[in-house]
Amino acid sequence: MSEKTGPEKQSGTQLWAGRSSGNLSSIAVEMGESISLDIQLYREDLRASLAHARMLAHVGILDRAELKAIGDGLRQIRQEIESNSLPLRPELEDIHTHVENRLTEIIGEAGKKLHTARSRNDQIAVDMHLFVRRACAEIGAVWIGLLESLSKAAAREIDTILPGYTHLQVAQPVRLSHHLLAHFWSFARDLGRLKRAAKTAGDLPLGSGALAGVNYETDREFLREELGFTGIYANSMDAVSTRDYLLDFLYALSVFATHASRLAEELILWNSLEFGFVHLPDELTTGSSIMPQKKNPDLAELSRGKSGRMIANLMNLLVNLKSLPLTYNRDLQEDRQPVLDSYRQSLLIGRALQAMIEGAVFDRGRMRAAVERGFATATDLADALVSERGLSFREAHHLVGNLVARAAEHGTTLAGAPATLREAVSPLLKDDEFYTKAISLSASTERKVSAGGTAKHRQEEQLQHAGRELEVWKDFDWRSPDLSLASEDR
């Protein structure tokens, strides 16, 4: 078969040609490259390469001079990448090949020895494991900052009363602290899921080779200790083909994004003219290109929008994996896009929500007025009729529903309903002292004395609990890998 010529022919040498001629068509190069994404893994790849070189020297495959040359070369490559002076060549496909190609250019034949006893299959596996551990530590720090902002806002707004909603209809009065802490606990659970993802990425895959192990007496325990892993994969086929740790990572980020979207949606609603519960600072909003009066909550809208993208990233990888036979298949190269994208988006969303919570000014008057307009203490009145007037709850429920309907017809609230209107519904409602006490907003919140309720002393307990939770997370060791290239030779 004759070779192709013209624009579809890619000239140049392919480092991993093997039995192939190494001459790839332009579409093969374009479709096969991943360097445009996995250049973001350069720190992980360089650190894992240095650990591998040290292990090879430890078992006698490299001599001391070769190890030093490789270490110096890897440090030079890192400088070149960080100064944007290392050319990225699509025909070299990935970060691993770029590193080895450049290392050989710098130090000569010793650079070619680095790939002894490893495969690109276990290379990308160890890079992604290291990345997930680093990413969990970075994301965790941002989410902890969000928890702090919610906790501080809750403490500040403990005496602010607003409507609690079901079906987006005014339901019962709650303290704003209670509402904010509900979001706090959702995000705290997200940290628990992130912790699990970091733990799942704690086993070392490097040393598994392509799939079956390697033909050398290597020391994987040395590698485990060198790279700070907590364990070693028991099965080399599993090690190079599993992406469970990435699914755990993407799942944790997807649930966070779902929680973030719910908070963002509330900020969007509350910032509207119709609600008017919150005012966001100018620096966190944007104007309209045509309507000068607009002040749009773009950060909240973008956070809400990005949540769908992050959920799709999880689905992307799940569908990719569902029919793959063991072990490595090129399909797995597609894991980088969803993982790297969700990593970045989760950091952006966490920072955006924290900024909005810290900058939010809550309109306490509008919130209180909404509680009153929505007849939010109707249940309290029914309960008072049960406990103090001896009605069954079903009777009380019907009676108060009738009162609400009458008040709505007259354009008034429960607090504004005159005694004549109340008496027309039932003589039991005529007593001003009984009635006023029953529908009091502050009294309503104070009656919710069950654990986890909105009564002030329960809120104070919850804030203390939240404080302890925060301290636990601040002290948590994410075991983020050390990706520095220390110059010591072992």
Q: Give residue 7's pLDDT.
A: 41
DSSP codes joined into one string, 122-185: HHHHHHHHHHHHHHHHHHHHHHHHHHHHHHHHHHHTTT-EEEEEETTEEEEEEEHHHHHHHHHH
Helix spans in 6-61 (H): 26-32, 35-38, 42-58
**DSSP annotation of 445:** H
Taking the CA atoms of residue 326, residue 330, residue 332 and residue 334 in that order, the dihedral angle to the nearest 10 degrees is -160
Question: What token pair was written down for 219?
Answer: 């020391």
User: Burial of 409 by CB count in 10 Å (0-12 exposed, 13-18 middle, 19+ buried)?
Assistant: exposed
Q: Give residue 465's pLDDT.
A: 98
Q: Give residue 264's pLDDT.
A: 98
The architecture CATH gives domain 378-439: Orthogonal Bundle (1.10)
Of 164, 95, 131, 151, nearest to 243 (Cα)? 131
Q: Give residue 29's pLDDT.
A: 85
pLDDT one-digit tens code per residue, 56-80: 999 999 999 999 999 999 999 999 9
Helix spans in 236-330 (H): 236-241, 244-271, 298-321
Q: Are 202 and 133 in contact (CB under 8 A)?
A: yes
Strands 278-279 and 361-362: antiparallel
The full set of domain ranges for the chain reads 26-116, 121-369+471-475, 378-439
Q: Are 275 and 370 in contact (CB under 8 A)?
A: yes
Q: Are 130 and 223 in contact (CB under 8 A)?
A: no
Taking the CA atoms of residue 195, residue 198, residue 200 and residue 202 in that order, the dihedral angle to the nearest 10 degrees is -130
> Helix-strand-coil percent breakdown of the chain, rounded to 5?
65, 5, 30
| Catalytic residue ranges | 167, 288
Measured in degrees and rounded to the nearest 5, phi and psi for residue 204 equal -85, 125
Separation of alpha carbons 348 and 2, rounded Å: 52
Q: Which regions of the chain are under pLDDT 50?
A: 1-13
Question: What token pair was written down for 425?
Answer: 């519904």
pLDDT one-digit tens code per residue, 332-386: 999 999 999 999 999 999 999 999 999 999 999 999 999 999 898 999 999 999 9
Task: State CA 160 to chain mean position distance.
Answer: 30
Angle subtended at Cα 327 by Cα 341 and Cα 226, rounded to the nearest 5 degrees: 70
Strands 161-166 and 169-175: antiparallel
**DSSP annotation of 362:** E
Sign of CA dihedral 60, 61, 67, 71: negative
Measured in degrees and rounded to the nearest 5, phi and psi for residue 165 equal -120, 145
Q: Are 416 and 375 in contact (CB under 8 A)?
A: no
Could you please state the CATH topology (level 3) that the domain comprising 26-116 is classified under.
Answer: Fumarase C; Chain B, domain 1 (1.10.275)
Say which CATH superfamily domain 121-369+471-475 falls into.
Fumarase/aspartase (Central domain) (1.20.200.10)
Q: Give residue 292's pLDDT.
A: 72
DSSP codes joined into one string, 315-362: HHHHHHHTTPPSS--GGGGGGHHHHHHHHHHHHHHHHHHHHHHHH-EE
Q: Are 317 and 243 in contact (CB under 8 A)?
A: yes
**DSSP annotation of 415:** T
Of 195, 185, 180, 51, nearest to 118 (Cα)? 51
